C-alpha cells in the first residue's frame, strides 16, 4: 500500500459500515466492496459477532446481520461514540457514488 492509499477506517470499520448498509450482503459482496478477500471478511464478521458488535441470524440458507447500535467503540478516544451514531453518520453519504477508499 502506498503512503497515499491509507484510509481513516480499518477493514473492520469498512465491513461494519457495509453490513449496516446491507444487512443481507453476502461475504463475496462485502469482500468486493471493501477490497479484501472473502476469508478476511469471514474473520472480521466473526470478530464483530464475537465481541457483540453485530448479531448474525440464519434466514434460510443466508445470513442476516444487525449492527448492535448501542455498542460503543473499543478505543478510549472514541469510547463515547455508539455504533448506531457512527453508522448513521457515514450512512448519510451518497451510496450510489463511487468513492476512493
Look at the chain and count its residues.
101
pLDDT given at position 97 = 47
**Cβ burial, residue 12 (10 Å; 0-12/13-18/19+):** middle
The domain defined by 10-88 carries CATH number 3.40.50.1000: no
Q: What is the DSSP string of 14-25?
A: HHHHHHHH-TT-
Question: Where in the chain are the domains?
Answer: 10-88
> Comparing C-alpha atoms, which of 64, 75, 70, 58 is closest to residue 13?
75
Q: Would you state the cell numbers that stand for residue 69, as one nine-digit string?
A: 447500535
Question: pLDDT tens digits, residue range 66-85?
Answer: 999 999 999 999 999 999 99
Question: pLDDT tens digits, residue range 38-59?
Answer: 999 999 999 999 999 999 999 9
pLDDT-derived band at 4, boundaries 50, 70, 90: confident
pLDDT-derived band at 3, boundaries 50, 70, 90: confident
Amino acid at each position: 500500500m502506498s503512503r497515499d492509499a491509507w484510509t481513516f477506517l480499518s477493514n473492520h470499520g469498512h465491513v461494519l459500515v457495509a453490513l449496516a448498509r446491507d444487512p443481507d450482503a453476502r461475504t463475496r459482496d462485502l469482500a468486493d466492496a471493501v477490497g479484501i478477500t472473502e476469508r478476511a471478511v469471514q474473520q472480521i464478521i466473526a470478530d464483530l459477532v464475537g465481541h457483540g458488535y453485530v448479531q448474525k441470524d440464519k434466514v434460510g440458507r443466508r445470513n442476516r446481520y444487525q449492527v448492535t447500535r448501542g455498542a460503543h467503540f473499543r478505543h478510549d478516544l472514541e469510547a463515547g461514540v455508539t455504533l448506531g451514531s457512527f453508522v448513521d453518520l457515514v450512512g448519510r453519504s451518497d451510496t450510489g457514488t463511487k468513492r476512493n477508499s
